[in-house]
Structure 1
């Protein structure tokens, strides 16, 4: 998935959460059913629930999900 992620221009201020950590936080929330507001950022290293909430929308705007849905089956088929 990493090669498909958009290159984001960083702005001054707070550092943006690493994409891998954001994805792990998103998957943790989906898997456990924990509300994003209760995601323990320091203990698990996923960043805040708010950061994990905004990232899928950013990825949607760049077309990541459509590309992923096209390429993942191709990759799996090629791998047998």
Structure 2
């Protein structure tokens, strides 16, 4: 890896290769290892496909390969195969950043000071009917 680039090792690519599609027609695909390394680079960096370094090949190739293989289920198959081969994880992490609460769950506007409508007023009838 140089300049923040990601490259699959020969061993890593060897584990992926049996799961790659073989049913291609027409022109032979460009180097799978280079393209997959570029796809991983874009996904890890969180950048745009258009910002992928040229060393990975045409940016459109990276995007098209990612989208087409996603539609065919190739990435899901690779994930399941690698997850099954690796055994149980040494650590399991839980991320709670996606927990949402309603905007009024924190007390809402105005803080927690009592309001006139919070309790019954002595000379007024109840505000709700039984």
TM-score in terms of structure 1 length? 0.70
Between structures 1 and 2, the one with greater helix share = 1
Task: Detail structure 1 runs of 4+ shifted over 6 Å in the superposition.
Answer: none
- Paired residue total: 74
The TM-score normalised by the length of structure 2 is 0.47
Query: Which residue in the other structure is 1:21 paired with?
Result: 34
Unaligned runs of 5+ in 1: none
- Aligned match of 1:40: 53
- Going from structure 1 to structure 2, the CA distance change for 1:32 and 1:70 (only over 3 Å counts) comes to closer
Greater Cα radius of gyration, structure 1 or 2: 2
CA distance in 2, matches of 1:65, 1:37: 21
What RMSD over aligned residues (CA atoms) do the two structures have, in Å?
A: 2.3
Greater RCO, CA 8 A, separation 6+? 1
Match of 2:43 in 1: 30
- CA-CA distance at 1:10 after TM superposition: 4.2
